[in-house]
């Protein structure tokens, strides 16, 4: 790659590809990195073959996620060798949580990697890249979240428009909860909230460019405590109140929440703010008090059930989603039965479930009572069969109802458009692409295994 002539980090005509793994926070960071690289003159590559620079924005939450990165890097190393033979340069950057957790180890395991940059420092990507161009592989994994928030690159209107009608806004990052299975407090650092002004300004810019749904994101989004210009601390629901007043913004969501931060104020907001969608992702992990304690979750199963009951009192149609881990060290059959009992009691619309994966450096990994993989597999299958039947039943119950759909994109088939119900269900209808970006009442006529089919309704939607 010839050295850049114009002070930017990119060589002439170079293209970059940022690939994201894991959570929504990474999706958000990846979009920001793409914007940042665009400012440096990098075009956007759709596939690796087209790229001169590939950034892997990595996830470290489970072993499988981390190992996937190393196999991906193996393939990129081959590409790099082939490019070198053809006299072309190819740069490989590892960003995100694997970069943070494993740092210099990444450089050791894969010599083709040019740069390792942690999630708190990607705003310095151009500067770090030009240092790496001088032959240095450097690791930058200092915790500097505040600095990152201050320097987040802002996308242009055209970039926002190209991305569509639904957008994420980071309001909070990091976690102080230290669940005993989880690497996030180590990879993302302590909880920190973005200021109210920054959040509202970013939301305003998005809405002005055509975004009609905003999801506020954070590892512990409901722990949000952002300061306004007068030094007043706002909880999450106050952001929702302010955002509710923005014309053109139709839908508000948030993810991911922790049960201990589920305040009555936030629960009440679900009853008071029609734009706040009736869907909450609230991970519980286990239904056994013994396991919850061992996981350091700081609440009992009954506390979770109480929250669900209060959410339903505030907004009777609210749909619930959760994460589950099976096979945490010491989990007995009886503990697992309690998880199934909780699932039966709540009745979830959608869920994510995982086998426990011991993560180096977490207390769970040190325990001697690790569960056999075979048992974990069996429990996972039982749990997934149960939640799958609940998901199907939830979707089937939507048939015959008229629900508001925010159309996001053309559907898979000619003449179709696709979007989301208030409850995060994928919905497709026959309709004109002009409807994309709008919220339209749709009568649901059929529930497929992964999406609902509907007809655009002539009358008003029953769900406001
Ligand atoms: N093993 C398995 N699942 C995990 N999760 C987090 N850490 C682990 C782990 N070590 C799951 C939790 C969390 C979700 C994002 O990933 O369920 O809520
Ligand atoms: Fe991990 Fe627990 Fe923090 Fe969630 S709350 S990010 S599971 S430590």
Q: Is 96 in the pocket of ligand 1 (CB under 6 A)?
A: no
Return the pLDDT at 3. 42
Half-sphere exposure of residue 82: CA atoms within 13 angstroms, side-chain side:
9
- Domains of the chain, by residue range, sit at 15-147, 157-396, 402-456
Which CATH architecture best describes the domain 157-396? Alpha-Beta Horseshoe (3.80)
Among the bound ligands, the one closest to the CA of 351: 1
The beta-carbon contacts of 337-340 under 8 Å, at least 24 apart in sequence, are 338/286, 338/287, 338/288, 338/289, 338/291, 338/301, 339/286, 339/287, 339/288, 339/291, 339/383, 340/287, 340/382, 340/383, 340/386
**Which of 319, 228, 224 shows the shortest CA–CA distance to 265?**
224
175 is in an annotated binding site: yes
On whether the CB atoms of residues 438 and 431 are closer than 8 A, the answer is no
Residues 6+ apart with CB under 8 A from 274: 244, 464
pLDDT of residue 464: 40
DSSP 315-345: STT-EEEEEEEE--TT--HHHHHHHHHHHHH
Alpha-carbon distance of 37 to 271, in angstroms, equals 42
Ligand 2 lined by 223 (C-beta under 6 Å): no
pLDDT (0 to 100) of residue 133: 76
Query: What pLDDT is recorded for position 8?
Result: 57
List, for residues 82-102, the tens digit of each pLDDT value: 999 999 999 999 999 999 999
**Which two three-digit tokens encode residue 48?**
């690796």
- What pLDDT digit, counting tens, does each position of 265-309 carry? 999 999 999 999 999 999 999 999 999 999 999 999 999 999 999
CA of 430 to the centre of ligand 2 (A): 41
Along the chain (464 residues), what's the average pLDDT of each consecutive run of 10 residues? 50 91 94 92 93 96 94 97 94 94 90 91 86 70 67 78 89 95 93 95 95 97 97 98 97 98 98 98 98 98 98 98 98 98 98 97 97 98 98 98 96 95 98 94 96 85 46
Atom number in ligand 2 closest to CA 178: 8
How far apart are alpha carbons 461 and 303 in whole angstroms?
Answer: 34
Q: Please tell me the class of the 402-456 domain.
A: mainly beta
Q: How many angstroms separate the alpha carbon of residue 182 from the centre of ligand 1?
A: 6
Query: Is the CB–ligand 2 distance for residue 184 below 6 Å?
Result: yes
In this prediction the pTM is 0.92
CATH fold of 15-147:
Rossmann fold (3.40.50)
Q: What is the best residue among 62, 304, 379 to mutate for testing ligand 1's pocket, by most ligand atoms within 8 Å of CB? A: 62
From residue 385, alpha-carbon distances to 34, 221, 301, 381 in Å are 39, 29, 21, 6
The Cα 191–Cα 425 span in angstroms is 31
Peptide bond preceding 256 in cis form (omega within 30 of 0): yes
* Ligand that comes closest to the CA of residue 189: 2
Alpha carbons 236 and 229: distance in angstroms, whole number: 16
């Amino acid at each position: 790659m010839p050295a850049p002539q114009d002070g930017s980090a990119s060589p002439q005509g170079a293209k970059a590809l940022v690939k994201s793994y894991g959570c929504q926070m990474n999706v958000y960071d990846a979009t920001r990195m793409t914007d940042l690289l665009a400012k440096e003159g990098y075009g956007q590559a759709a596939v690796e073959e087209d790229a001169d620079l590939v950034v892997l924005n990595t996830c470290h939450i489970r072993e499988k996620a981390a190992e996937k990165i190393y196999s991906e890097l193996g393939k990129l190393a081959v590409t790099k060798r082939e490019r070198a033979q053809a006299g072309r340069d190819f740069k490989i950057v590892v960003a995100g949580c694997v970069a943070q957790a494993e740092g210099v180890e990444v450089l050791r395991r894969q010599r083709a990697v040019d740069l390792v940059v942690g999630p708190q420092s990607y705003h310095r990507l151009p500067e770090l890249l030009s240092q790496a161009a001088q032959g240095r592989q450097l690791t930058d994994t200092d915790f500097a979240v505040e600095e990152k928030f201050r320097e987040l690159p802002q996308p242009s209107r055209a970039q926002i428009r190209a991305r569509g009608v639904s957008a994420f806004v980071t309001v909070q990052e990091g976690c102080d909860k230290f669940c005993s299975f989880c690497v996030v407090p180590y990879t993302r650092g302590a909880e920190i909230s973005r200021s109210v002004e920054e959040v509202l300004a970013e939301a305003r810019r998005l809405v002005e460019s055509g975004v009609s749904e905003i999801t506020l994101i954070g590892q512990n989004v409901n722990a949000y405590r952002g300061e306004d210009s007068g030094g007043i601390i706002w909880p999450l629901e106050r952001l929702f109140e302010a955002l509710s007043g923005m014309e053109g913004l139709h839908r508000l969501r948030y993810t991911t929440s922790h049960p201990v931060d589920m305040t009555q104020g936030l629960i009440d907001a679900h009853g008071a703010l029609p734009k706040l969608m009736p869907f909450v992702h609230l991970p519980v992990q286990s239904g056994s008090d013994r396991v919850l304690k061992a996981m350091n979750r700081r609440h009992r199963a009954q506390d979770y059930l109480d929250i669900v009951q209060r959410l339903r009192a505030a907004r009777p149609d609210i749909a619930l989603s959760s994460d589950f881990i099976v096979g945490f060290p010491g989990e007995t059959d009886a503990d697992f039965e309690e998880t199934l009992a909780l699932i039966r009691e709540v009745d979830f619309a959608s869920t994510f479930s995982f086998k426990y994966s011991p993560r180096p450096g977490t207390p769970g990994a040190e325990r001697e009572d690790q569960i056999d993989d075979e048992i974990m597999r069996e429990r996972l299958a039982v749990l997934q069969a149960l939640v799958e039947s609940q998901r199907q039943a939830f979707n089937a119950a939507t048939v015959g109802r008229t629900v508001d759909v925010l159309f996001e994109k053309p559907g898979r088939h000619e003449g179709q458009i696709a979007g989301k119900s208030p409850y995060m269900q994928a919905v497709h209808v026959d309709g004109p692409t002009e409807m994309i970006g709008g919220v339209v009442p749709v009568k649901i006529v059929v529930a497929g295994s992964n999406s609902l089919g509907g007809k655009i309704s002539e009358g008003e939607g029953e769900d406001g």
